[in-house]
Amino acid sequence: MKSIGRWCVLLVCAALCLQIFFALRIASMAVLAPESTSFERSQIWQVLTRQGRLPWRQEWVDQSRVSPSLKRAVLASEDSAFTQHHGIWWDSLEKAWDKNARAKAQAERRAQRKGDAKPVEAKIIGGSTITQQLAKNLFLSGERTLLRKAQEMLLTLGLEAFLSKRRILEIYLNSVEWGEGVFGAEAAAQHYFRKPASALSAWESARLAVMLPRPRYFEQRPQSPYLASRAEVIVGRMNDVVLP
């Protein structure tokens, strides 16, 4: 029993040390730009494995060098309540939980009809704010489990506690994926429109914003009717967004 107790204490200490490490990393981002994110590092390996080379585009730019249209478009598409919440939008999260529960129940019914005895795993998806997306990309893997979601929430609260909304959005826009090996607003603007991020129009910004949930998919389908129609919707919403 004593050995079990010691192991439990060690695990708790390790967990606390990990949280302290995360807190120090986040606090440093108030003045230092992150050199890379966990998601970027995983993508480097995948690109190298598939292509044997590393076509990589990324250039950090200050907020002043990113078009206000792009900021508005991203918020309108991804998190219109960004300036109103403290990192977690609980109403949206509750809806995502309900959606996941229904999807799991449907999957279980299909499995029963097929006679599949394999248990259906719960995957927590949706309901993520920009701060949550940034927390996941900076530090976590792509697995979708309750434990990872709990860690994501802790990191989200840390980002909101140590960084301003302006800084959170700045880091997000400089690190988010916009295609295979294309990270950040400047790289995306150059890759798709051959211009700096500061010169993006409202329509160009809206197209980039719509790409965010599935950037590699839309990179291969630039003429997608959905991409065009959704971009028109986002253009109409941009003026209603409040920038931090």
In a domain, 102, yes or no: no
List b or e across 82-102, with b for residues whose CB sees 16 or more CB atoms inside 10 angstroms: beebebbbeebbeebeeebee
| pLDDT by residue, tens only, the chain of 244 residues | 667 877 888 888 998 998 999 999 999 999 999 988 999 888 887 777 776 666 788 899 999 999 999 999 999 999 999 999 998 877 655 555 555 555 556 666 766 776 655 544 444 444 589 999 999 999 987 777 788 888 999 999 999 999 999 999 999 999 999 998 899 999 999 999 999 999 999 999 999 999 999 999 999 999 999 999 999 999 999 999 999 9
In a domain, 218, yes or no: yes
In a domain, 42, yes or no: no
Domain tally for the chain?
1
Q: Looking at residue 124, what is its pLDDT?
A: 46
pTM for this structure? 0.84
User: pLDDT tens digits for 106-163?
Assistant: 666 766 776 655 544 444 444 589 999 999 999 987 777 788 888 999 999 999 999 9
In a domain, 50, yes or no: no
Give the helix/strand (H/E) hosting 212.
Answer: none
- Residue pair 151/140 in contact (Cβ under 8 Å)? The answer is yes
Concatenate the DSSP letters of all residues of 179-211 into one string: ETTEESHHHHHHHHHSS-GGG--HHHHHHHHHH
In a domain, 195, yes or no: yes
In a domain, 193, yes or no: yes
Angle subtended at Cα 36 by Cα 30 and Cα 39, rounded to the nearest 5 degrees:
115
Q: Which of 189, 180, 190 is nearest to 220 (CA)?
A: 180
In a domain, 52, yes or no: no
Spatial distance between the Cα atoms of 30 and 33, rounded to a whole number of angstroms: 8
In a domain, 67, yes or no: yes
Is the backbone of residue 127 left (phi > 0), alpha (psi -120 to 50) or beta?
A: left
Q: Which domain holds residue 219?
A: 57-87+164-244
CATH of the domain at 185: 1.10.3810.10
The helix-helix angle for 146-162 and 130-139 (nearest 10°) equals 110
